[in-house]
Structure 1
Amino acid sequence: MKVGIVANILQDKSLGEALEYFQKMGIQTIEPGCGGYAGKSHVNPAVLLADQEKLAGFKQTIEDSGMTISALSCHGNPIHPDQAIAAAHDTDMRDAVRLCKELGLNTITCFSGCAGDGPDSRFPNWVTCSWPEDYLKILEYQWNEILIPYWKEFAAFAKENGVTKIALELHPGFMVYNSETLKRLRAAVGLEIGVNFDPSHLLWQGMDPVSVIRELKDAIYHVHAKDVRVDPINTAINGVLDTKHYSDEINRSWIFRTIGYGNDLAYWKNIFSTLRAIGYDGAVSIEHEDSLVNRFEGLEKAVRVIKDSLIFEEKTEMWWA
């Protein structure tokens, strides 16, 4: 496995400056934002695809850094009921796929998206319960008329361009947010649909990341390293569904934390060991979204934890067996 980074943590720096900083820290591979909510501060696929000279310069910059690209991030909502938003995010995703082809990459990271409750909706509707039965009708519409048709067409487009791994982040607020919903979409669309495994979103929902790894196995196409601290007092009072702003740390039921500040080293070693056991040997992209820690200090601490717990070398023969 390799130490990676969600590169938009340094979106205020040039690509060259960001790569230099990452390289000095011992990070080996990057996951740059290419549109949608991730932005395009380091990589704008439309610009690179339209100018071979700029594309060549981009490739040279990456090569000179000694780093690689693990995947292109295009986290958006391509099935948003606002057609302008949906179209913009869909365009970003398709441009990211086309750029993957130029770069020889086969993986994008993204969200499944979330549809509205009907053809005249203005906003997404994330359904979290089955009663009253109105919610089941919404789910039927969302899955059968929007989600599955969209991803069938997009997966075919991606495959035509050499992208065989669409790594969906299991994220609440979007329609694919747990093991069951991922497996349902994968069964309907095909093996192009997989997972960008991010334990932070699983933890606060009450899932066990190691159990999810064992359940999804070869559907795991990419990995994020982000921690969460679930507040036992606030959760005991209000549960885990929390709409308070992330900056209201003391009152929220959970907040994102720097690696090692939500769970200890043994927890991360168990995750990485289980990933190795199911055959994953790709990037582990650190995603820093900790509002209590300076981003540079937080990233440096996260890298240390990852280096201490990630498994880098090939296995040796079981000489004792």
Structure 2
Amino acid sequence: MEIGLITDSLGGLSLEEALGVAQRAGLASVEIATGNWSEGPHCDLQALVGSSQARDDLLKTVADYGLRLSALCANGNQLHPVSGQQQDKVVRDTIEVAGRMGVPTVVLMSGLPGGGPDDKVPNWVTTAWPPENLAVLDYQWSQVAVPYWRDLADVARAAGVRLAVEACGGQLVHSVGTLTRLIDAVGSDVVGANLDPSHLMWMGADIPSVIRALAGSIFHVHAKDVRVNRWIADRDGLLDTTAHADTANRAWNYVTLGLGQPAGQAFWADFVYNLRSVGYDGTLNIEHEDSLVNSVEGVERSAALLRAVILAEKPDWVPANV
């Protein structure tokens, strides 16, 4: 395994400054966002689409810092009933660029359609009742998501790129069950998981169980933690529409690694060991979204924690003949 960084974690810095932080922290790779929900501060997607020189320059800049480009990220809502077409273009351009640059993985979310063909806003259904919720879900999956994703999977196959889908609240794919449904419908050869445990944590999932359930389908991993404010969660539960900036009044917050899960470093050691047990030996990309911790400090603290638990070398134990 290796430790990497989503450079958007340092979105206030230039690309070179962010790469310098990653280099000093002893990281091996970076993931760069190309647009949609990200402002894309560290690349110009259209320049990358149109210019082989721009693509070569980006790869060289990353390599000059002793790093490699593990993935491109196009997180957004390409199934949005109004702006989906615009966001889909970013996704498809990102896949094209990744293929041309030899980047193996594009990270993205599933998207979330409206609840019917005339809706103007996405509709996230989280319960089976009232009965019309099931009709909404059938429309979203059967008429929108599956046809879209089958076509996108063909685009990715042609480009030689894998699509790592991040299960996240507010998206059609937000759990192991919904991710598995998408993989089964589209094809496990090209669609798998970008495992960001933080989203599943706040929804109450047991992360070792998640890892075992996704064995063989984990294409990429984000390392991000969640801290639950029990005095609020015990009163209101974990579904929370309080603004993320209002950290003191939320049921949970994204935090720097080691400041969230009660077991601290031990949780992340178990996380790494469970990943190894299901055959994952790729990158763990630090994603800093802690509004109470300086971004450089947060990345450095996260890197130090992961260095203490990472399994960097291939196993070589051979059972003795008895």
For normalisation by structure 1, the TM-score amounts to 0.96
Partner of 2:286: 286
| Distance in 1 of aligned mates of 2:10 and 2:175 | 29
- TM-superposition CA deviations, 1:229-260 (whole Å, max 9, x none): 11222111100000001122222111111000
| Distance in 1 of aligned mates of 2:206 and 2:216 | 18
1:319 Cα shift?
A: 5.3
Counterpart among 95, 98, 110 of residue 97 in structure 1? 95
1:283 Cα shift?
A: 0.6
| Distance in 2 of aligned mates of 1:52 and 1:314 | 35
Q: Does 2:169 align with 1:172?
A: yes
Partner of 2:157: 159
| Distance in 1 of aligned mates of 2:133 and 2:85 | 26
Partner of 2:72: 72
Partner of 2:231: 233
The one-letter code sitting in structure 1 at the alignment partner of 2:116 is G
Q: Does 2:272 align with 1:272?
A: yes
Secondary structure of 1:108's partner?
A: strand
The one-letter code sitting in structure 2 at the alignment partner of 1:278 is V
Secondary structure of 1:224's partner?
A: strand
1:294 Cα shift?
A: 1.4
- TM-superposition CA deviations, 1:134-167 (whole Å, max 9, x none): 111100100000000000000001111111x211
CA-atom RMSD in angstroms: 1.2
Q: Show structure 2 runs of 5+ residues with no match.
A: none
Q: Pick which of 148-157 and 41-50 moved more.
A: 41-50
Q: Does 2:168 align with 1:197?
A: no
Partner of 1:140: 138
User: In the TM superposition, what are the counterparts of 1:117-136 in structure 2 within 5 Å?
Assistant: 117-136=115-134
| Distance in 1 of aligned mates of 2:70 and 2:52 | 22
Identity between Structure 1 and Structure 2 (%): 38
| Distance in 1 of aligned mates of 2:94 and 2:46 | 8
| Distance in 1 of aligned mates of 2:71 and 2:56 | 18
Partner of 2:257: 259
Secondary structure of 2:30's partner?
A: strand
- TM-superposition CA deviations, 1:287-316 (whole Å, max 9, x none): 111112111211111111011011111112
Partner of 2:218: 220
| Distance in 1 of aligned mates of 2:175 and 2:97 | 29
| Distance in 1 of aligned mates of 2:302 and 2:31 | 16
| Distance in 2 of aligned mates of 1:241 and 1:39 | 27
Partner of 1:4: 4
| Distance in 2 of aligned mates of 1:102 and 1:200 | 31
1:36 Cα shift?
A: 1.1
1:80 Cα shift?
A: 0.2
| Contact 2:2–2:28 (CA under 8 A) maintained in structure 1 | yes
| Distance in 2 of aligned mates of 1:320 and 1:178 | 41
Q: Does 2:34 align with 1:37?
A: no
| Contact 2:225–2:255 (CA under 8 A) maintained in structure 1 | yes
| Contact 2:55–2:101 (CA under 8 A) maintained in structure 1 | no
Q: Does 2:187 align with 1:187?
A: no
| Distance in 2 of aligned mates of 1:211 and 1:260 | 20
Partner of 2:243: 245
User: In the TM superposition, what are the counterparts of 1:42-53 in structure 2 within 5 Å?
Assistant: 42-53=42-53
For normalisation by structure 2, the TM-score amounts to 0.96
1:320 Cα shift?
A: 5.7
1:52 Cα shift?
A: 2.5
| Distance in 1 of aligned mates of 2:37 and 2:103 | 21
- TM-superposition CA deviations, 1:258-301 (whole Å, max 9, x none): 00001211111001001001110111000111112111211111
Secondary structure of 1:245's partner?
A: coil
| Distance in 1 of aligned mates of 2:271 and 2:6 | 19
| Distance in 1 of aligned mates of 2:246 and 2:61 | 40
1:54 Cα shift?
A: 2.2
| Contact 2:59–2:69 (CA under 8 A) maintained in structure 1 | no
| Distance in 2 of aligned mates of 1:32 and 1:202 | 23
| Distance in 2 of aligned mates of 1:135 and 1:47 | 43
Secondary structure of 1:70's partner?
A: strand
- TM-superposition CA deviations, 1:219-238 (whole Å, max 9, x none): 10000000001122211110
